[in-house]
Amino acid sequence: GAGVSQSPSNKVTEKGKDVELRCDPISGHTALYWYRQRLGQGLEFLIYFQGNSAPDKSGLPSDRFSAERTGESVSTLTIQRTQQEDSAVYLCASSLARQGYTEAFFGQGTRLTVV
């Protein structure tokens, strides 16, 4: 597709269950970002991947959160033992990120509700 694609668009899960969120970046984009947006709040940085470099995980809120990306393709964000405070919209973005920074494009997000 032409844009960043995220799936599922909505996810309702029970407290304590694990969830996996998926992001398909724009083809050729080397950089990929995950952000979290709680209701009525701003975007919180979670993790950044750039090519084959070690990811910047400085924004992950706890060890229940992890993310993977194989090369310059799909990324998955996994939340283990979900808690109610994990309820949020999880947004993924990608960019070319050549020689400095280029324009980032966002997906439509995954709305996660933990009940």
Partner 1 sequence: KQEVTQIPAALSVPEGENLVLNCSFTDSAIYNLQWFRQDPGKGLTSLLLIQSSQREQTSGRLNASLDKSSGRSTLYIAASQPGDSATYLCAPNFGNEKLTFGTGTRLTIIP
109 touching partner 1, by CB under 8 A: yes
Residue 111 tokens, joined: 């709305």
Residue 49 tokens, joined: 């991947």
Fill in the amino acid letter for 26.
Answer: I
Find all residues with CB under 8 Å of 79, minimum gap 6, and list them: 18, 19, 21, 64, 65, 86, 112
Binding track over 18-57 against partner 1, x by CB under 8 A: -------------x-x-x-----xxx-x--x-x-----x-
Residues 85-104, interacting with partner 1 (CB under 8 A): 91, 93, 97, 100-104
Rounded distance, CA 26 to CA 1, Å?
7
Q: Which is nearer to partner 1, 55 or 76 (CB)?
A: 55
Give me the residues that bind partner 1 (CB under 8 A), please: 4, 6, 31, 33, 35, 41-43, 45, 48, 50, 56, 59, 91, 93, 97, 100-109, 111
